[in-house]
């Protein structure tokens, strides 16, 4: 007696073939998916980086320690005072570069991690700009920010010192090529004195692009004037010179921090210097973190990677965070649990917030970036 009809047997064979084909398609899909997952993606990933206590010391690896090591800030020859707690500066680590991009699997994981950000690689590394050039620019920005932080701190403490706007270099095809040289000190625009970079920018903006400007410089100790026609660039007006502030401080302030670039540590350096030069802990020994650029006048400017820095601060155990006011829109809705974010526009704002933390009263009156 037949257990299956011929139609039933044919149907079973078709089902077997169909099932086998399905598994083959699934296997191919999994292989293709795996290949795509490990393939390089056109992105880099920003994540919380190392945290450095400006009141602490750095070891041979560049990490901050509470014990023996090289002080991150030292002021030889001047009276300094014991400090307590921490004034942490924060960094962002970037995973990937044009030569070694992260894979799609890592990018997908970063999309769902609130402490990380996925950035198009062309945004992080503009075309025709090498990794070496990016590193050099970041290192120069760090060096300049350290000098500006010293200037801001000493100005806050009432010290007087001369300062100049000094030409570092000229970019390719600069309108000032052959007219202005590296190491020239820029002292005026159209007869109006300029004492800092902001005043230089404002004077050039007032002059306008396409209209000749008379630039006063000091070269090798001698005063000279040159005529340059500024051009429009990125919403501003420039003469094609890269400049920095040069200061003649009344004493030496040394900042030792390797392998970190960019200008965003300026405010925290300034606070660390002030703390060392004044009796008592300006934040009462609390663990405070923060970020922000700073200039000679004490103006605090915005920075990149604020969300990653918030999580870095939380991971380091900070309960208080000083953030540039111009970054508040990026902070709101992204504040990790247990962190209060004060909004600061100037160095004085930051000191007021630290004083409120120190005294334990009045923090409710300090402006904050809303948590959500």
Residue 119 lies in a domain: no
Strands ordered across the beta sheet of 43-53: 117-120, 43-53, 86-95, 287-290, 320-324, 340-344
Question: Where does a domain end: 198, 231, 247?
Answer: 247
Residue with structure tokens 């991971």? 315
Closest CA to 57 of 228, 245, 239, 255: 255
What b/e string do you get for 174-204 counting C-beta neighbours within 10 Å, with b at 16 or more? bbbeebbbeebbbbbbeeeebbbbebbbebb
**Rounded Cα gap, residues 359 and 54, in angstroms:** 21
Q: 64 and 203, same structural domain?
A: no
Closest CA to 292 of 216, 237, 346, 338: 346
Beta bridge partners of 232: 237
pLDDT score of 7: 55
Residue with structure tokens 């073939």? 17
Residue 266 lies in a domain: yes
Angle at 248 between CA 274 and CA 294, to 5 degrees: 45
The tens place of each residue's pLDDT in the chain, 372 residues long, gives: 455 555 554 455 555 555 566 666 566 656 655 665 567 889 999 999 999 999 998 764 445 555 567 899 999 999 999 999 999 999 999 998 888 899 888 888 899 999 999 999 888 888 776 777 777 777 778 888 999 999 999 999 999 999 999 999 998 889 999 999 999 999 999 999 998 888 999 999 999 999 999 999 999 999 999 999 999 987 889 999 999 899 999 999 999 887 788 889 999 999 999 999 999 999 999 999 999 999 999 999 999 999 999 999 999 999 999 999 999 999 999 999 999 999 999 999 999 999 999 998 778 889 999 876
Instruction: Kindly give, in sequence order, each residue whose CB lies less than 8 Å from that of residue 141, ignoring residues fewer than 6 positions away.
Output: 261, 262, 263
Question: Where does a domain end: 212, 231, 247?
Answer: 247
| Cβ contact 294:365 at 8 Å | no
Residue 354 lies in a domain: yes
Q: 235 and 261, same structural domain?
A: no
pLDDT per position as a tens digit, 33-52: 566 556 788 999 999 999 99
Dihedral of the alpha carbons of 139, 142, 143, 145, in degrees to the nearest 10 = 160
Question: Where does a domain end: 247, 281, 309?
Answer: 247
Q: 337 and 359, same structural domain?
A: yes
Q: 69 and 5, same structural domain?
A: no
Q: 345 and 223, same structural domain?
A: no
| Cβ contact 111:43 at 8 Å | no
Residue 99 lies in a domain: no
Instruction: Kindly give, in sequence order, each residue whose CB lies less than 8 Å from that of residue 54, ignoring residues fewer than 6 positions away.
Output: 72, 73, 86, 87, 88, 89, 265, 268, 269, 271, 272
Residue 275 lies in a domain: yes
Residue 336 lies in a domain: yes
Q: 56 and 135, same structural domain?
A: yes
Q: 256 and 150, same structural domain?
A: yes
pTM: 0.81
Q: 275 and 146, same structural domain?
A: yes
- CA 41 from centre of chain: 24
Question: Considering its fold, how many domains does the chain have in total?
Answer: 3
Q: 272 and 219, same structural domain?
A: no
**Rounded Cα gap, residues 116 and 9, in angstroms:** 57
Q: 258 and 151, same structural domain?
A: yes
User: Containing H/E element for 28?
Assistant: helix 6-38
CATH number of the domain at 176, please. Answer: 2.30.42.10
From residue 23, give the alpha-carbon distance in Å to each of 15, 18, 30, 37, 203. 12, 9, 10, 20, 71
**Rounded Cα gap, residues 208 and 289, in angstroms:** 40
Closest CA to 44 of 114, 113, 99, 115: 99
Rg of the chain over CA atoms, in angstroms?
Answer: 28
Q: By three-state DSSP, how is residue 32 classified?
A: helix
Q: 271 and 140, same structural domain?
A: yes
Which domain covers residue 32, as residue numbers? 1-38
pLDDT score of 313: 97
Residue 370 lies in a domain: no
Angle at 285 between CA 282 and CA 289, to 5 degrees: 80
CATH number of the domain at 139, please. Answer: 3.30.230
Residue 108 lies in a domain: no
Q: 265 and 134, same structural domain?
A: yes
């Amino acid at each position: 007696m037949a257990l299956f009809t011929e139609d039933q047997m044919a149907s079973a064979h078709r089902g077997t073939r169909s099932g086998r084909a399905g598994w083959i398609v699934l296997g191919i899909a999994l292989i293709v998916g795996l290949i795509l997952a490990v393939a390089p993606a056109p992105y880099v990933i920003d994540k919380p980086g190392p945290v450095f206590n400006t009141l602490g010391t750095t070891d041979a690896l560049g990490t901050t320690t509470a014990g023996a090591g090289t002080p991150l800030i030292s002021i030889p020859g001047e009276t300094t005072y014991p400090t307590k707690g921490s004034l942490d500066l924060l960094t962002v680590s970037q995973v990937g570069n044009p030569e070694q991009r992260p894979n799609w699997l890592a990018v997908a994981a970063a999309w769902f991690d609130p402490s990380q950000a996925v950035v198009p690689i062309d945004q992080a590394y503009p075309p025709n700009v090498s990794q070496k050039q990016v590193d050099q620019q970041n290192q120069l920005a760090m060096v300049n920010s350290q000098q500006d932080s010293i200037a801001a701190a000493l100005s806050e403490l009432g010290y007087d010192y001369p300062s100049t706007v000094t030409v570092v270099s000229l970019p390719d095809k600069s309108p000032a090529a052959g007219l202005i040289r590296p190491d020239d000190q820029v002292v005026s625009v159209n007869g109006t004195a300029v004492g800092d970079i902001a005043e230089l920018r404002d004077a050039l903006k007032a002059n306008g692009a396409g209209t000749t400007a008379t630039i006063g410089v000091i070269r090798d100790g001698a005063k000279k004037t040159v005529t340059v026609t500024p051009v429009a660039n990125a919403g501003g007006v420039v003469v094609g010179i890269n400049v920095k502030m040069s200061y003649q401080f009344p004493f030496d302030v040394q900042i030792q921090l390797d392998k970190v670039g960019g200008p965003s540590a300026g405010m925290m350096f300034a606070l660390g210097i002030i703390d060392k030069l004044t009796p008592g802990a300006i934040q009462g020994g609390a663990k405070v973190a923060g970020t922000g650029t700073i200039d000679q006048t004490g103006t605090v400017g915005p920075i990149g990677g604020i969300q990653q820095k918030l999580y870095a601060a939380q991971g380091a155990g900070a309960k208080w965070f000083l953030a540039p006011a111009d970054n508040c829109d990026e902070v709101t809705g992204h504040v990790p649990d247990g962190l209060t974010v004060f909004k600061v526009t100037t160095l004085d704002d930051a000191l007021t917030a630290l004083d409120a933390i120190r005294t334990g009263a009045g923090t409710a009156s300090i402006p904050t970036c809303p948590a959500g």
